[in-house]
């Protein structure tokens, strides 16, 4: 690692682990970043479910019993809440970073949030209709 | 642009795509599989949602793969970066390495077992990867 860094880091104040608790904007930012923990854990659990289904069908019913456990349902509700929080803040940020422009009209972050939320609901309904309704 | 910088840009691009996938596709999977099914809520299905979509329908396997692989990449990538901001900056390289290992193992395991469960999915992947 003797190679000189192309972009050397500027000296900056060392922040403690709780630096984000002193300001509401930083707290919202960090809560948003921490929603990724629930996204990651849900995905790992889901992959484990697919592995059990494929490799040990006999014990799959035990995994389904685990899904009915109140603790697991509680975790899932929290994971869904944080995933939706991530989605809504993502939609708002898209509107800030890349607003749409048509004939002199520029979209606002709130309009981006509304349009993308409607899209989220529509996509969810199409998936439910395609894969689950009447099956 | 150096190869490392190009790889860095590519990984951030995949991360961004994973963000869209996690925002638009993951909520419905969490709801149907982990909340509606165990509580018997709408839409009520005859079997559990996962075995329903990954064994009977090729497009269902594709949906599960895109949703879970994209969201896993996005979630782990962002979480490991966040740990650096929570006072673990000195260990961030090691944490990021573990994160990439989790992503790689998770995606490969998901792909392998989806292929095992749905042979039709194998044909579709081969068709997509095959010569034009």
- B-chain residues within 8 Å CB-CB of A123? 24-25, 28
Residue-number span of the structural domain to which B9 is assigned: 3-129
Residues A67-96 pLDDT 10s:
999 999 999 999 999 999 999 998 998 888
Provide the b/e sequence for A52-65 (b: ≥16 CB within 10 Å): bbbeeeeebeebbe
pLDDT tens track, chain B, 132 positions = 788 888 888 888 888 888 889 999 999 999 999 999 999 888 878 888 999 888 867 888 999 999 999 999 999 988 888 887 777 777 888 888 899 999 999 999 999 999 888 877 777 777 777 765
pLDDT at A4: 59
Tell me which chain A residue has its CA closest to the CA of residue B15: A36
Residues A101-134 pLDDT 10s:
888 888 899 999 999 999 999 999 999 998 887 7
Measured distance CA(A105)–CA(A92) in Å, rounded: 18
Backbone angles phi, psi at A98, to 5 degrees: -135, 75
Element of type H or E holding A105: strand A105-106
Q: Which of B27, B33, B47 sits opposite A84 (nearest CB)?
A: B27
pLDDT at A70: 95
Assigned token pair, A14: 């060392």
3-state helix/strand/coil string of chain B? CCHHHHHHHHHHHHHHHHHHHHHHCHHHHHHHHHHHHHHCCCCCCCCCHHHHHHHHCHHHHHHHHHHHHHHHHHHHHHHHHHHHHHHHHHHHHHHHHHHHHHHHHHHHHHHHHHHHHCHHHHHHHHHHHCCC
Please tell me the distance in Å from B11's CA to the nearest CA on chain A.
17
- B-chain residues within 8 Å CB-CB of A115? none
- Per DSSP, A10 falls in state P
Residues A20-47 pLDDT 10s:
888 888 888 888 888 889 999 999 999 9
Q: Which of residues 30-89 of B touch A (CB under 8 A)?
A: 30-35, 37-39, 43, 45-54, 57, 59-60, 63-64, 68, 71-72, 74-79, 81-82, 85-87
- A-chain residues within 8 Å CB-CB of B12? none
> pTM for this structure?
0.86
Total domains in the fold of chain B = 1
Residue A1 has pLDDT above 60, yes or no: no
Q: What percent of chain A has pLDDT over 70?
A: 90
What confidence category does residue A99 fall into, taking pLDDT thresholds of 50, 70 and 90? confident
Q: What is the dihedral of CA A99, A101, A106, A108, to 10 degrees?
A: -30
- A-chain residues within 8 Å CB-CB of B74? 36, 39
Q: Is B18 on the interface with A (CB under 8 A)?
A: no
* Domain harbouring B11, CATH code: 1.20.1300.10
pLDDT at A88: 93
- A-chain residues within 8 Å CB-CB of B45? 132, 135
Decide if B71 and A51 are in contact by the 8 Å CB cutoff. Answer: no
Q: Which of A64, A73, A87 sits opposite B35 (nearest CB)?
A: A73
Indicate if the alpha-carbon torsion angle B56, A76, B20, A100 is positive or negative: positive
Assigned token pair, A51: 């592995």
Residues B13-34 pLDDT 10s:
888 888 889 999 999 999 999 9
pLDDT at A62: 92
What confidence category does residue A3 fall into, taking pLDDT thresholds of 50, 70 and 90? low
For chain A, list the domains and their CATH numbers. 21-131 (1.20.1300.10)
Q: What is the ipTM of this complex?
A: 0.89
């Amino acid at each position: 690692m003797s190679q000189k860094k192309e972009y050397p880091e500027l000296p900056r104040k060392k922040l403690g682990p709780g630096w984000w608790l002193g300001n509401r904007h930083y707290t919202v930012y960090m809560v948003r970043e921490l929603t990724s923990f629930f996204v990651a854990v849900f995905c790992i659990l889901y992959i484990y479910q697919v592995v059990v289904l494929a490799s040990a069908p006999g014990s799959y019913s035990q995994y389904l019993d685990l899904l009915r456990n109140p603790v697991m349902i509680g975790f899932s509700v929290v994971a869904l809440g944080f995933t939706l929080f991530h989605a809504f803040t993502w939609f708002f940020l898209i509107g800030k970073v890349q607003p749409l422009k048509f004939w002199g009209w520029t979209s606002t972050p709130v309009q981006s949030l509304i349009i993308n939320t409607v899209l989220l609901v529509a996509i969810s309904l199409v998936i439910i209709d395609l894969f689950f309704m009447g099956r | 642009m150096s190869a490392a910088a190009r790889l860095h840009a590519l990984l951030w691009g995949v991360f961004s795509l994973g963000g869209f996938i996690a925002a638009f596709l993951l909520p419905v999977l969490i709801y149907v599989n982990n909340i509606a099914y165990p509580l018997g809520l709408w839409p009520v299905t005859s079997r559990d949602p996962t075995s329903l979509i990954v064994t009977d329908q090729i497009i269902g396997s594709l949906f599960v793969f895109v949703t879970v692989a994209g969201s896993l990449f996005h979630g782990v990538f962002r979480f490991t970066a966040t740990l650096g901001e929570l006072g673990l900056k000195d260990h961030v390289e090691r944490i990021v390495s573990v994160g990439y290992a989790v992503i790689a193992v998770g995606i490969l395991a998901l792909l392998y077992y989806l292929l095992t469960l749905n042979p039709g999915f194998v044909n579709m992947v081969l068709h997509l990867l095959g010569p034009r």
